[in-house]
Amino acid sequence: MANLPATNQLLFSAFVQRSVAGYPSIAFVSFEKTSGKSTAFRAFLHAVEGITAGITSLGADPANGKEAAIDGHLHFVKPGTVIATARQCLPYCEPTRTILTDTSVLTPLGEVILFRAESAGRVFLAGPSIIADAINIKKNLLEFGAEFVLMDGAGARISPANPRLSDGIVLCANLAPDIAQTQEDLQYQINLLQTRPLVDERLREICQQKQPAQFSFALVDQNYGTHLPYNGETISQLIETVEQQHQTIRAMYFSGALTDRQAEGLVKYAETNPALVKKCTLIVEDPTKLMIQPRAIASIQASPLSLSVLYPIQLLGIAVNSSTAGSGYDRITDFLKRLSTDCHLPVFDVHGGFFFEIPD
Amino acid sequence: MKFLTKAQQHNIGFDFVMAHLTPLTCYGKERKDAIDWYSAAEKPVLLRKLQQLQAFKIFFDKYPEDIAALTNILTRFKEIRGIIRQINAQVEPLDEVELFQLKNFAIDCQHLWQAVEEFQLTLLDHQLYSLHDTVTLLNPDDQITRTFAIDSRYATALEQIRVAKTEIEHQINAQPEPDKQLLNLHTQLTEQERKAEYQVCQNLTDRLRISVPEVANNITYIAELDFLIAKATLADAFGAVAPQFLDTDTIKIQEAVNPWVNDILNKDGKSFTPLSLSLNQGANVLTGANMGGKTVALATLTLNILLAHCGLFVFCRSLSLPVLDFLFYLAHDYQSVTAGVSSFGAEVRQITRMIEQMGDGRGFAVVDEFARDTNPEEGQTMVRTLLRLCEKHNSFCLLSTHFSKIVERDMQHLQVVGLRNAPLETLSPVRAEKTVNHLQEMMDFTIEAVPWDNPAPKDAVRVAKLMGLPQEFLDLIDDETWENAFGNQTES
């Protein structure tokens, strides 16, 4: 963030140092395309001092490989940085390098290769888009000397926020000319990513058992009995079976995604069968499995149902791209300040050079 | 596979065996995929492969730690044949990743070479070469590492460019703001560095060309060793033994098991009845009750003879046989029917092929219930004629049938004991599936040689009655058939 005022630069650097010290792997994710992920990633990388970085990208941008598109995806690295990138990106990487390992992880731009930069220079990143592959690459980066890993997200995907991959995330968003709309969108995204973790330890243990994960959903009754759709029952059919055993439903665990349609169906069912579904928690593995829009969230909140996750996401900060916001310095800074206050998170705008953090 | 369709390979349990034959390297896997029947012309190779496997199995059993060490090294080998082709093509030099991969291959070859020397493993026809020079070329440091860099020591020009580049980087870092002129200079030096690196890669590629024959040879060695370990592991897991190839006119198998069928039975809490039999040159006829396991017996024998001719150990206590030219297997997989030919028409086509093969060499032919789908009178004649024809050749034909009076004096007659000694009177007609289970429990799957004129078992009516065939049907069965099935017992 070369254009940050000196005070902001110091605050931002402190925030980055604190983040990488506390969270060894950080992903930059967004719900929308071209939201400044790479810019925020670059700012983070630039601000880190005295600690060896490992970097990769989560996916290969379709534009990658074309000369004109490469400049926007180049990241300047210091000597010692460990880089994981696709083989076809190597010719575009400037540093003198040592090849550390090949990985057998394939991307559209070839196998992911790990190398150590022996000199400074710009590197071109493309990495795995499959989360399991990304987890392996992250482990490789740490094994080959990186002390923390930064992962540049690709496209409009929040799957890199998966807590199995990232210890922390930075949410990146565009600031639209209609600031009120941005605020509304961001509030929804932040709420979703910060869905509260499950506090009932007994329920957590049940959900973590192998057997519920083998089915698309599982029901847990008031006495913590587990009910699984062994015969391919729908949720409502299984609830009725549970009811015949004079039990009500304490929780519903979804081993995959929870969609709008499922959520709205359940809300409707809960409203029409209040005797069966009282104070029931809908549980998913982590917030990236919540494929639900604001309307569905609102209807859940207004119903006897609530949402919880087994593994929460650690949202470290919000990077806002103000280059799309139009004019109005005060308008933008007011918004960023308000956002930071409302969500109790550091908010920075690399383009405008702003950094806001409400002290504890 | 030369002699079997994919469906037949599955139906006899060959796919199951192959699924448990698991080499670790891409080279070993390729060797496995090429597995096939060694013909009589390749007899010396087949015998040599089996000797090697026998000797290696002793080593395998005696030194499990050495096998673990070899296996550990083998898991590290990756596909580098594209790199070898590129070196030979002399069009583009290897890049840094390819040089890294070749270096690691050479290091792993060194580890394997040391292990083979230490374990005194001299069981393969191929020799493993030391790739010490390749390792040294790609690892200019004293200490061997698995990483690879286009080291400055490879070329003075490269070293000078990098010194200049580092100096510029220091100057850039010393500036409070990026200096465009310095950055441009840095970019120029980076371009020069790439060109110099390309030249180093070209020189290294040229120098590596001399070791290509040794690398290629080592790849063959790795494939053979990996495949050998996989074969020994398979034999160990299933207690398989070496087949004995003899100059003989009989095929003798003792306590053969079909591992696939056995696996299915075990999951159901049942076990496979081992198969022992002896086949003569010419016609051998297998008769027996329905559900008596004739088809499984044919599959088991075929599987073991096939495995023996592929150079693998066999799933039995012993198997002795001559080296055969071909395998013929005709069972009802109905593939030809779906191809638009009637089942009998498809059989005739196959039998024509079998007769041609018998004319060309000595083989093992299995025919499961030939002509069962045609007019029984003509079918019986066709089967009898086929058996007479087989008697004229030196192949081994094993034919299963329900037709009676087809075995002739010089032919071998084998029979499944079946329900011959079963106390069927203790069974009363109950639910059909339950009766099937009871019948299978009573079934004796043993195959024994019987006199040539031993009548075929006539259990069909008894079994059908026990399975609950309506009285209305049974009442209409003629007296002679009834007496054959139940003796003097009256119809009730």
The helix or strand, by DSSP H or E, that contains position A187, with its residue range, turns out to be helix A179-193
Residue A49 CB-density burial (10 A; 0-12 exposed, 13-18 middle, 19+ buried)? exposed
Going by C-beta distance under 8 Å and a sequence separation of 6 or more, which residues neighbour residue B419? Answer: B289, B292, B439, B442, B443, B444, B457, B459, B462, B463
Lowest model confidence (mean pLDDT) among A5-14, A31-40, A75-84, B373-382? A5-14
- CA distance linking residue A98 with residue A117, whole number of Å: 7
- CA distance linking residue A351 with residue B255, whole number of Å: 80
Residue at A301: amino acid letter: Q
Average pLDDT of chain B is 89
Biggest CA pair distance of chain A: 70
Residue at B127: amino acid letter: Q
Smallest CA-to-CA distance from A162 within A312, A283, A281, A317 is with A312
Identify residues of A whose CB sits under 8 angstroms from chain B CBs.
87, 90-91, 94, 96-102, 104, 113, 116, 118-121
pLDDT in the model for residue A288:
94
Residue B68 CB-density burial (10 A; 0-12 exposed, 13-18 middle, 19+ buried)? exposed
Q: Do B100 and A99 touch (CB under 8 A)?
A: yes
**Residues of A whose CB is below 8 A from B190:** 94, 121
> pLDDT (tens digit, 9 = 90+) per residue, B138-153?
999 989 999 999 999 9
**Residues of A whose CB is below 8 A from B101:** 102
| Chain A residue with the nearest C-alpha to that of B197 | A96
Mean pLDDT of A178-189: 88
Q: Do A99 and B193 touch (CB under 8 A)?
A: no
Q: Do A121 and B190 touch (CB under 8 A)?
A: yes
Question: Count of CB atoms within 10 A of residue B184's CB?
Answer: 11
Q: What are φ and ψ of residue A338, in 5° steps? A: -65, -40
Residue A353 CB-density burial (10 A; 0-12 exposed, 13-18 middle, 19+ buried)? middle
Q: Which of A117-121, A245-249, B118-122 has the highest mean pLDDT?
A: A117-121
Residue at B241: amino acid letter: V
Q: Which of A3-12, A295-304, A328-337, B172-181 has the highest mean pLDDT?
A: A295-304
Smallest CA-to-CA distance from B205 within B195, B197, B193, B216 is with B197
Indicate if the pLDDT at residue B189 is higher than 90. yes
Going by C-beta distance under 8 Å and a sequence separation of 6 or more, which residues neighbour residue B122? Answer: none
Q: Measured in whole angstroms, how far is the alpha carbon of residue A344 from the centre of its chain?
A: 18
Q: Which of A236-240, B295-299, B442-446 has the highest mean pLDDT?
A: B295-299
**Residues of A whose CB is below 8 A from B96:** 90, 97, 99
pLDDT in the model for residue A215:
87
Residue at B258: amino acid letter: N
Q: Do B149 and A121 touch (CB under 8 A)?
A: no
Smallest CA-to-CA distance from B255 within B316, B298, B210 is with B316
A-B Cβ pairs (cutoff 8 Å, strict): 42
Query: How much of chain B exceeds pLDDT 90, in percent?
Result: 63
Nearest to A96 among B97, B148, B162 (CB): B162
Mean pLDDT of A207-231: 88
Q: How far is A255 from chain B (nearest CA, A)?
A: 30
Indicate if the pLDDT at residue A326 is higher than 80. no
Residue at B229: amino acid letter: I
Mean pLDDT of B18-33: 97
Of A303 and B305, which is predicted with more confidence?
Answer: B305
Pairing of strands A74-77, A97-107: unpaired
Indicate if the pLDDT at residue B264 is higher than 60. yes
Categorize the per-residue pLDDT at A71 as very low, low, confident or very high, splitting at 50, 70 and 90.
Answer: low
- CA distance linking residue B148 with residue B141, whole number of Å: 11
Q: Do A98 and B101 touch (CB under 8 A)?
A: no
- CA distance linking residue B49 with residue B403, whole number of Å: 42
Q: Do A120 and B96 touch (CB under 8 A)?
A: no
Residue at A352: amino acid letter: G
Per-residue CA distances from B301 to B297, B333, B338 (Å)? 6, 18, 27
ipTM: 0.84
Tokens 């299933």, residue located: B238
**Residues of B whose CB is below 8 A from A97:** 96, 149
- CA distance linking residue A16 with residue A45, whole number of Å: 9
Asked if residues B393 and B354 have their Cβ atoms less than 8 Å apart, the reply is: no
Nearest to A99 among B97, B162, B190 (CB): B97
Q: Do A96 and B165 touch (CB under 8 A)?
A: yes
Lowest model confidence (mean pLDDT) among B47-61, B192-206, B212-226, B361-375? B361-375
- CA distance linking residue A75 with residue A57, whole number of Å: 11
CATH superfamily of B243-457: P-loop containing nucleotide triphosphate hydrolases (3.40.50.300)
Indicate if the pLDDT at residue B205 is higher than 90. yes
Q: How far is A43 from chain B (nearest CA, A)?
A: 16
Question: Considering the domain B38-149+208-233 in this protein, what is its CATH number?
Answer: 1.10.1420
Asked if residues B252 and B319 have their Cβ atoms less than 8 Å apart, the reply is: yes
- CA distance linking residue B158 with residue B262, whole number of Å: 66
**Residues of A whose CB is below 8 A from B166:** 119
Asked if residues B419 and B439 have their Cβ atoms less than 8 Å apart, the reply is: yes
Q: Is B76 on the interface with A (CB under 8 A)?
A: no
Indicate if the pLDDT at residue B477 is higher than 90. no
Residue at A153: amino acid letter: G
Q: Is B165 on the interface with A (CB under 8 A)?
A: yes
The ranges assigned to domains in chain B are: 38-149+208-233, 243-457
Indicate if the pLDDT at residue B2 is higher than 90. no
Q: Do B166 and A87 touch (CB under 8 A)?
A: no
3-class state of residue B406 by DSSP: coil
Smallest CA-to-CA distance from B18 within B27, B26, B31 is with B31
Q: Is B195 on the interface with A (CB under 8 A)?
A: no
pLDDT in the model for residue B122:
81
Q: How far is A158 from chain B (nearest CA, A)?
A: 32
Q: How far is A251 from chain B (nearest CA, A)?
A: 36
Q: How far is A13 from chain B (nearest CA, A)?
A: 17
pLDDT in the model for residue B335:
47
- CA distance linking residue B274 with residue B285, whole number of Å: 19
| Chain A residue with the nearest C-alpha to that of B151 | A98
CA torsion, points B255, B261, B262, B264, in degrees to nearest 10?
-170
Asked if residues B305 and B321 have their Cβ atoms less than 8 Å apart, the reply is: yes
Taken in order B111, B113, B117, B120, the sign of the CA dihedral is positive
**Residues of B whose CB is below 8 A from A96:** 149, 162, 165, 193
Mean pLDDT of B27-36: 95
Mean pLDDT of B205-210: 96
Q: How far is B93 from chain A (nearest CA, A)?
A: 14
Categorize the per-residue pLDDT at B223 as very low, low, confident or very high, splitting at 50, 70 and 90.
Answer: very high
Pairing of strands B363-368, B396-400: parallel
**Residues of B whose CB is below 8 A from A121:** 186, 190
pLDDT in the model for residue B256:
96
Residue A214 CB-density burial (10 A; 0-12 exposed, 13-18 middle, 19+ buried)? exposed
Going by C-beta distance under 8 Å and a sequence separation of 6 or more, which residues neighbour residue B172? Answer: A120, B178, B179, B182, B183, B186
Pairing of strands A82-86, A53-58: parallel
Going by C-beta distance under 8 Å and a sequence separation of 6 or more, which residues neighbour residue B333? Answer: B5, B7, B8, B11
Per-residue CA distances from A357 to A43, A347, A351, B461 (Å)? 17, 6, 17, 91
Q: How far is A169 from chain B (nearest CA, A)?
A: 30
Q: How far is A40 from chain B (nearest CA, A)?
A: 20
Indicate if the pLDDT at residue B425 is higher than 70. no
Mean pLDDT of A218-228: 90
Categorize the per-residue pLDDT at A168 as very low, low, confident or very high, splitting at 50, 70 and 90.
Answer: very high
Substitution target in A96, A102, A118, A122 with the highest count of B β-carbons within 10 Å is: A96
Nearest to A120 among B97, B162, B169 (CB): B169
Categorize the per-residue pLDDT at A269 as very low, low, confident or very high, splitting at 50, 70 and 90.
Answer: confident
